[in-house]
């Protein structure tokens, strides 16, 4: 099992301490969770069930809100959370925008 | 406070009493039309402490004047060559007078009055060559730690930045502030979401209100522009939102009380930790507050920073003109990928080889070595990036720098008038 870092006791996400391949097992508070896709160092996985609209807590503070139900161990990223302040720009979104226009 | 500790025995003493850790000549173009000539003047000397900076715009702007004034009279700069085309709006005589008033050697070449490109390059190179030799006799003196200004910035952040490099820089900052140094952190747009916890660290309630308002201003500004200070590489590296990036960036500030708010060109006059407000005042104009990391670095240097601590996760390779940049790499994979470009491997923390205190100690030690003349990775590779654009700011009010203004006592309640005086709509000259 590979470790993930809990930055603050109240956090509902953990941070990967190393890059992992699909099929590798990450330690979610003592429970083994097998990754379905490769994830880079520094990415987040859910520490517990997170409901849609619930705040994502990292460093003990909200860093955005869930836009979908997130299972324990699941990757927490732009596909299932969003900012409470400003939209996030990605190259993929830019590519989609320009291919649609 | 051990304010008398020495950071280097070999600082360069300027006529205005300031002390630098480098002994540079700045060649300065005052409009893009003078950029090529200036670069040609600098090129043969670029490994001999001659740096190229300038302003591309043809139309005058108080902010860019103030920035170049701050950079040309920076303690690391001993002499300045100004290169003007001749018809641009930049106040070249004002800058020439200001630099000469600081006691530095300063010459102005106007291309249209010097016979064009070839002759201006010839005369410029002659002047720079002579001036380098004169700078060799600059007096060397001891410099105490309370005389140094240290700025910090992050660029190419990822999910590791806020766990390793940024909090390690925070540890180094805590120690420096405790020793009496002047430390500056910045990018209010990258502190969106941190306004409550940051405001509570201000040394006066008025300053807390001002810090809070500076972040609200940044949030409004970026909302108008449509997106924040967040690049696609940040998301590839595991970050998701502005506020997540902000929390990581915020940790560079450490946990010291916050002594003041600066705007670009304001030099902190007492030891402590300062927030640099980089987002323009008034309605949104001139586009993005900082178009890239070097625009922020230039502002930190114009505030007097002798050295910059640059945290990177994805792997920025930049350095800067005027002040050395110490690159602190947050991500151990990036460090292995770009080893020549990095000074500190903070990613070891993730691999169990060190901890925040250990890396903070290494950064603190490296600042001393760089002040003593050791080249940073980006210096040795010849990096001298520089960017300066258009902005407008209202001047800071007394409540922004309370340690210089005893009347702004902690006993006084936070007042909206103070916030107005500092951040918005203050009558008077915009710069």
- Domain architecture of chain B: domains with CATH: 11-141 (3.40.50.2300), 148-423 (no CATH)
Tell me how far apart the alpha carbons of residues B390 and B56 are, in angstroms, rounded to a whole number.
10
Tell me how far apart the alpha carbons of residues B58 and B63 are, in angstroms, rounded to a whole number.
14
| Percent of chain A with pLDDT strictly greater than 90 | 72
pLDDT for B325: 98
Which range, of B43-47, B229-233, B370-374, averages the lowest pLDDT?
B229-233
Mean pLDDT for chain B overall: 91
More confident residue, A89 or B174: B174
Assign domain A4-100 one CATH number from 2.40.30.260, 3.20.20.70, 2.60.120.10, 2.30.130.110: 2.30.130.110
Q: Report phi then psi at A70, rounded to 5.
A: -120, 125
Each residue's pLDDT tens digit, B266-307: 999 999 999 999 999 999 988 888 999 999 999 999 999 999
Please report the residues numbered 59 through 88 in chain A whose beta carbons come closer than 8 angstroms to any beta carbon of chain B: 59, 61-64, 76-78, 81-88
Residue B232: pLDDT band (50, 70, 90) is confident
pLDDT for B222: 87
Give yes or no for a contact between B341 and B281, defined as CB atoms under 8 angstroms apart: no
Reading the block at residue B143, the tokens are 């410099």
Residue B226: pLDDT band (50, 70, 90) is confident
Please report the residues numbered 216 through 235 in chain B whose beta carbons come closer than 8 angstroms to any beta carbon of chain A: 219, 222-223, 226-228, 230-232, 235
Distance from CA of A83 to the nearest CA of B (A): 5
Q: Which of B367, B343, B389 is nearest to B165 (CA)?
A: B343
Each residue's pLDDT tens digit, B123-157: 999 999 999 999 999 999 999 999 999 999 999 99
Give yes or no for a contact between B323 and B306, defined as CB atoms under 8 angstroms apart: yes
pTM: 0.90
Give the mean model confidence (pLDDT) for residues A1-27. Answer: 93
Yes or no, beta carbons of A85 and B219 under 8 Å apart: yes
Ranges of beta strands (E only) in B31-139 are: 50-54, 77-84, 105-110
Q: Do strands A25-28 and A31-34 pair parallel, antiparallel, or not at all (unpaired)?
A: antiparallel
**CA nearest to A80 within chain B:** B240
For the beta carbon of residue B37, count every other beta carbon within 10 angstroms: 24
- Please report, for chain B, how many H helices and E strands are present, in that order: 14, 14
pLDDT at B406 over 60: no
Yes or no, beta carbons of B158 and A42 under 8 Å apart: yes
Tell me how far apart the alpha carbons of residues B37 and B118 are, in angstroms, rounded to a whole number.
8
Residue B193: pLDDT band (50, 70, 90) is confident
Yes or no, beta carbons of B244 and A64 under 8 Å apart: yes
Set of chain B residues whose Cβ sits within 8 Å of the Cβ of A85: 192-193, 219, 223, 228, 241-243
B159 in reach of chain A (CB within 8 A): yes
Give yes or no for a contact between B365 and B349, defined as CB atoms under 8 angstroms apart: no
Residue B4: pLDDT band (50, 70, 90) is low
pLDDT for B403: 81
Each residue's pLDDT tens digit, A25-55: 999 988 999 999 999 999 999 999 999 999 9
pLDDT for A91: 67
Yes or no, beta carbons of B240 and A85 under 8 Å apart: no
Tell me how far apart the alpha carbons of residues B110 and B114 are, in angstroms, rounded to a whole number.
6
Per DSSP, helices labelled H in chain A are 91-100
pLDDT for B431: 52
Domain spans, chain A: 4-100
Q: Which residues in B237-251 are b (16+ Cβ under 10 Å) and which e?
A: bbbbbbbbbbbbbbb
Give the mean model confidence (pLDDT) for residues B337-342. Answer: 98
Residue B227: pLDDT band (50, 70, 90) is confident
ipTM of the complex: 0.83
Yes or no, beta carbons of A42 and B247 under 8 Å apart: no
pLDDT for B225: 86
pLDDT for B231: 80
Q: How far is CA B302 from the centre of its chain?
A: 6
């Amino acid at each position: 099992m590979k470790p993930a870092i809990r930055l603050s006791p109240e956090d509902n996400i953990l941070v990967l301490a190393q890059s992992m391949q699909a099929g590798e097992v990450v330690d979610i508070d003592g429970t083994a969770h097998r990754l379905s896709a490769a994830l880079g160092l520094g990415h987040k996985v859910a520490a517990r069930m997170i409901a849609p609209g619930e705040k994502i807590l990292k460093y003990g503070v909200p860093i955005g809100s869930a836009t979908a139900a997130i299972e324990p161990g699941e990757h927490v990223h732009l596909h299932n959370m969003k900012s409470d302040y400003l939209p996030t720009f990605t190259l993929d979104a830019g590519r989609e925008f320009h291919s649609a226009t | 406070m051990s304010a008398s500790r020495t950071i280097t025995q070999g600082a360069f003493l300027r006529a205005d009493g300031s002390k630098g850790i480098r002994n540079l000549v700045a060649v300065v173009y005052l409009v893009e039309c003078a950029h090529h000539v200036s670069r040609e003047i600098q090129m043969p000397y670029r490994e001999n402490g001659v740096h190229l900076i300038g302003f591309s715009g043809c139309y005058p702007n108080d902010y860019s004047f103030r920035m170049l004034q701050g950079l040309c009279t920076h303690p690391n700069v001993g002499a300045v060559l100004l290169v003007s085309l001749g018809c641009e709006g930049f106040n070249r005589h004002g800058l020439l007078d200001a630099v000469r008033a600081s006691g530095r050697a300063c010459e102005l070449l106007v291309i249209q009055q010097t016979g064009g490109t070839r002759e201006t390059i010839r005369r410029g190179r002659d002047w720079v060559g002579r001036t380098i030799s004169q700078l060799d006799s600059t007096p060397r003196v001891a410099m105490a730690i309370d005389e140094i200004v240290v700025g910090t910035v992050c660029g190419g952040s990822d999910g590791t930045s806020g766990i390793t490099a940024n909090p390690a820089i925070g540890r180094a900052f805590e120690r420096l502030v405790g020793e009496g140094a002047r430390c500056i952190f910045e990018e209010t747009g990258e502190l969106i979401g941190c306004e409550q916890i940051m405001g509570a660290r201000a040394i006066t309630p008025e300053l807390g209100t001002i810090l809070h308002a500076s972040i609200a201003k940044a949030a409004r500004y970026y909302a108008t522009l449509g997106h924040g200070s967040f690049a696609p590489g940040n998301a590839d590296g595991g970050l998701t939102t502005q506020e997540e990036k902000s929390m990581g960036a915020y940790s560079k500030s450490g946990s010291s009380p916050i002594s003041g708010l600066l705007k670009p060109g304001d030099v902190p006059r007492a030891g402590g930790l300062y927030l640099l407000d980089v987002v323009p005042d008034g309605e949104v104009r001139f586009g993005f507050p900082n178009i890239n990391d070097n625009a922020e670095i230039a502002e930190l240097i114009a505030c007097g920073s002798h050295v910059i601590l640059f945290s990177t996760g994805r792997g920025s390779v930049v350095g800067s003109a005027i002040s050395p940049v110490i690159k602190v790499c947050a991500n151990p994979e990036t460090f292995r990928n770009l080893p020549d470009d990095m000074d500190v491997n903070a990613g070891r923390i993730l691999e169990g080889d060190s901890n925040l205190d250990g890396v903070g100690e290494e950064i603190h030690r490296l600042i001393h070595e760089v002040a003593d003349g050791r080249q940073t990775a980006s210096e040795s590779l010849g990096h001298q990036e520089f960017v300066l654009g258009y902005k407008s700011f209202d001047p800071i009010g007394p409540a922004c720098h309370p340690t210089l203004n005893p009347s702004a006592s902690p006993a006084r309640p936070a007042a909206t008038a103070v916030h107005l005086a500092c951040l918005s709509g203050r009558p008077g000259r915009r710069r």
